[in-house]
Structure 1
């Protein structure tokens, strides 16, 4: 009986919320639609840009090579294709 009472009260509260929210924002009036698209310059300041391999410091490259050296296949690929290609192939994207 208590469960039924709680369910009825929750559904009543949800119905009241939906009705009052619909009155506050009619279906045809959505001010947020204007903010859906932004200019490229504004988006580039918000979205983090990926770093190129040339921007990694020597310390970061050494850290990647130490991780890659623990895996024999990654170590061999590092010797032939480079540290960036080997690390990415075996461990995914570079974390920094």
Structure 2
């Protein structure tokens, strides 16, 4: 008898969590959910901005970072020990390009 009760409870739990129970939602809710899943590529690129990896900076960009960092003695010292990317990020924030 305990096994039968356990089987009934398990089957009820499976039914409640399955798609059969979710199909009873109104069509309006399903459409509202689908509209929020996709967006135009231009909107997506504005929301999720691609950042360049530090290794892909040109020599001109690295030189401009170095010039900015050389004006600060602490940044210049960190640049000599940890590199220009780490020093610029520590003192001036993320690289603007």
Structure 1 unaligned spans of 5+: 1-27
- Distance in 1 separating the partners of 2:61 and 2:32: 42
Cα deviation code 1:53-93 (max 9, x no counterpart): 11100000000000000000000000000000000000000
Cα deviation code 1:28-71 (max 9, x no counterpart): 83544313224xxx6xx723211011110000000000000000
Quote the residue 1:78 is aligned against: 79
Q: How well do the aligned residues superpose, as a CA RMSD in angstroms?
A: 2.6
Question: What is the TM-score with the length of structure 2 in the denominator?
Answer: 0.58
Quote the residue 1:35 is aligned against: 35
- List 4+ stretches of structure 1 deviating above 6 A: none
- Distance in 2 separating the partners of 1:35 and 1:73: 51
Structure 2 unaligned spans of 5+: 1-26
Quote the residue 2:57 is aligned against: 56
- Distance in 1 separating the partners of 2:92 and 2:32: 40
